[in-house]
Amino acid sequence: MPKSLLTVISIDLKDVPFEKALSVLAKKGNFKLSYNRSRIPVDKKVSVKMENVQALKVLIHLMKKTGTKLVITRKGQLAIVPDKKGQKQPTSMRKGNIQGQVFDGETREALPGANIYVFGKRMGTSSGSDGRFTIEDIPAGIHSLQFSYVGYVSRIFENIHVTESQVSDVMVSLTPETFMLKDVTVTPGQFSIMGKGPSVRQALTREDLEAVPFGEDVYRAISRLPGISSSDFSAKFSVRGGENEQVLVLMDGLELYEPFHLKDIDGGALSIIDVAAVEGIDLLTGGFSAEYGDRMSGVFNVRSIRPGKKRTSLGISFMNARIMSEGTFNKERGTWLVSARRGYLDLVMDLVGEKDPPRPIYYDVLSKVEYRLNAKQIFSANFLHARDRFNYVEDDQDEDNTGYGNTYGWLTLKSIPNSRLFIKSVASYGRLTHYRNGTGYTDNLTEINLMVRDKRDVDIFGFRQDWNLDLSNRWYLKWESWFTICRPTIRSAFWVCWLKII
C-alpha cells in the first residue's frame, strides 16, 4: 500500500464529475491514478465532504458510489477499474447520444442532407436543414464517425467518447472536392430556390421571393429564371414553350394536381402554396431521370420548412393575410407546423363602392407533424387544404358562381435499415372538387334564358415506395414502385428506374 494513500486530507465536493473528484483527490494526496475513460463512469456526478481523514477512505467512498475498485499493478501504479462484483447499471443506461453540426469549411454555411455513419454499429443519420444531426442510443465507448456530402471530401472522426446518459458534441467542417475535367457538356439544368446547399445552382433568396409583386407567390418568382415564361394574369408557367400540364408539381414528396387559387382568371392567378411555409424549391427544366414519371417539360419540387423553436408569426401582404405557428415536442424528437392564409380581395371590392362587384374568396391551410421514431426511422404526417369561391353579377343581372377545392393528406416514413439502404414510403389521399352555377336572363329580366349546373369531384388514393441501395463505390441502384387509384381510373407501375455508375 503506497504511503501517499494514508495522507490525512479534508475535501468538500458537491455534484462534480467522478473524473474531477479523482483529480482533486490525487492532487491533495500527492499521488497519481490511472484509468481507462471508456471503462469507468467519468462523467457521473458524485459528492463527498470529509475532514481530517486518510485519502484512502475518501477514495473508497467515491468508488462505492461509481461501482469501481482500486487495483495496484506490479509496478506499484494505482489503477481504477470497474468492479464486476459491485452494483451493475442497467443496460438501458449504458448508452449515450452524439449530436453536432456539419458545415462548409470555407463559407461556414450549414450543409443539409450530409450522411453520418457510425463504424461497426450499422447506425447513422443525415443532417437537417441547419446542418445539425443527432444519433441516439449509441453504446457507451469509443466510436468513429464518417461524414460524407456530395461535392465534398469525406471525413472520418475517430476516438469519439460516448458515455452513459451523456451527449457528445461534434462540429464537422467539410472541404469542397476539386474535380479535374477534360470536357464540359452544357445541358438543361437544375435551379434551386431558397436552398442552402452548395452554391453551384442558380438561386433566389427568400428576400427575392417576398419582393415579387402580386401576392408574393412562389409560382410567379419562377418566371425570372432562364427558359421560363408566364403571363401577367396567370401564375402558371411554361418551360421552353411546353404546356403547364407537362410540369410535375411535388410538395414534400406528393404530387399536387391543379394547385391554384382563382382559376377563373386565366386558369389560376395564385398558387395554393404559401411562400412563408416554403424552405426551398428545386426546378428541373430538362434531363431529369425516370423517377419523375411521364412529364416532359419540368419538375417543380417544393419543400416545406423544417420547424425550429416554438414561435408564432402574423403577416399581411398586398392580397393575403397569414398566420403561421411552429414548434417542437418530446425533447425535440418531434416538430409541428401550422400555416393558414386568407385572401381579402372580396373586402377590397366591397370598399370600392361598385354595385355587385366580383367577390373572390379563397384560403388555404398547411400543417405538418414530424417525429423521429428512433435513430433509423422518421415519420411525418402532412395536410394541405385550399378552397375558392367566386361570385359575380353582371349589369344585366346574369349571375356566375364558381367554387374549387384542393385537399391532400399524406403519411411518410423514412427508414435507414443500414448505411447503404434508404427507403421512403408515402401513403396519400387527395380530393379535387369543382362546381359552377350560372343563370342568364332575357333582356327584360323576366325570364331565365340560360341555366348552367356543373359539378365535378375526383378522389385520388396513392401509395409510393422508393428504395435507394448503394451496392458499392461504383454502383448505385434506385428502385421505385407506386400505384394510384382515381375515380374512375386506376394507374399503377412497378419498375427498376436505373442502375447508375458514379
Q: Is the pLDDT of residue 492 over 60?
A: no
**pLDDT tens track for 75-104:** 667 888 887 654 444 444 467 888 889 988
What is the pLDDT, as a whole number, of residue 112?
Answer: 85
Give the domains, in start order, of the chain with CATH numbers.
3-82 (3.55.50.30), 91-174 (2.60.40.1120), 190-501 (no CATH)
pLDDT band at 110 (very low <50, low <70, confident <90, very high): confident
What is the pLDDT, as a whole number, of residue 30?
Answer: 85
> Do 38 and 4 meet the contact criterion of CB atoms below 8 Å apart?
no
Cα distance between residue 348 and residue 46, in whole Å: 68
What is the pLDDT, as a whole number, of residue 165?
Answer: 63
Q: Is the pLDDT of residue 323 over 90?
A: yes
What is the pLDDT, as a whole number, of residue 384?
Answer: 96
Q: Is the pLDDT of residue 373 over 50?
A: yes
Cα distance between residue 337 and residue 304, in whole Å: 9
What is the pLDDT, as a whole number, of residue 340?
Answer: 95
Q: Is the pLDDT of residue 341 over 60?
A: yes
Q: Is the pLDDT of residue 184 over 60?
A: no
Cα distance between residue 274 and residue 313, in whole Å: 13
- More confident of the two residues 378 and 6: 378
CA distances from 433 to 382, 388, 454 (A): 20, 10, 11
Q: Nearest 5°: CA angle at 127, between 126 and 130?
A: 165
CA distances from 9 to 46, 60, 68 (A): 18, 14, 22
What is the pLDDT, as a whole number, of residue 41?
Answer: 85
Calculate mean pLDDT across residues 156-185: 72
* Amino acid letter for position 175: T
Bond preceding residue 488 cis, omega within 30 of 0: yes
Helical (H) or strand (E) element with 64: helix 55-66
Calculate mean pLDDT across residues 396-420: 87
- More confident of the two residues 38 and 363: 363
Of 200, 42, 198, residue with least CA distance to 111: 198
pTM above 0.85, yes or no: no
What is the pLDDT, as a whole number, of residue 188?
Answer: 52
> Do 28 and 50 meet the contact criterion of CB atoms below 8 Å apart?
no
Q: Is the pLDDT of residue 139 over 80?
A: yes
Average model confidence (pLDDT) across the chain: 79
| DSSP string for residues in 180-197 | --S-------EEEES--S
Q: Cell numbers at residue 316, please?
A: 399581411
> Do 219 and 235 meet the contact criterion of CB atoms below 8 Å apart?
yes
DSSP state of 354: -
The sheet that has 167-174: what strands, in order across it?
132-139, 95-104, 167-174
> Do 137 and 69 meet the contact criterion of CB atoms below 8 Å apart?
no
**pLDDT tens track for 211-220:** 555 446 778 7
The label of the residue with cell 393575403 reads 320
pLDDT band at 339 (very low <50, low <70, confident <90, very high): very high
Of 138, 155, 132, 127, residue with least CA distance to 98: 138
What is the pLDDT, as a whole number, of residue 256?
Answer: 92
Calculate mean pLDDT across residues 237-258: 84
Cα distance between residue 37 and residue 315, in whole Å: 53
Q: Is the pLDDT of residue 452 over 60?
A: yes
Calculate mean pLDDT across residues 417-436: 89
Residue 361 phi, psi (nearest 5): -125, 130
The label of the residue with cell 506499484 reads 76
Cα distance between residue 271 and residue 345, in whole Å: 15
In which region does residue 122 sit, left (phi positive, over 0), alpha (psi from -120 to 50) or beta (all else)? left
**pLDDT tens track for 255-289:** 998 899 888 877 788 889 888 888 777 788 766 66
> Do 266 and 299 meet the contact criterion of CB atoms below 8 Å apart?
no
Instruction: Please state at what angle helix 18-29 crosses helix 55-66, rounded to 10 degrees.
Output: 170
Q: Is the pLDDT of residue 133 over 60?
A: yes
Q: Is the pLDDT of residue 495 over 50?
A: no
Helical (H) or strand (E) element with 393: strand 377-393
> Do 66 and 25 meet the contact criterion of CB atoms below 8 Å apart?
no
Cα distance between residue 29 and residue 20, in whole Å: 14
DSSP state of 112: T
Calculate mean pLDDT across residues 101-128: 84
What percent of the chain is predicted at pLDDT more than 70?
80
In which region does residue 274 sit, left (phi positive, over 0), alpha (psi from -120 to 50) or beta (all else)? beta
Which range has the top average pLDDT, 57-66, 116-125, 427-436? 427-436
Q: Name the 3-class secondary structure at 106.
A: coil
Chain centroid offset of residue 46 CA: 40
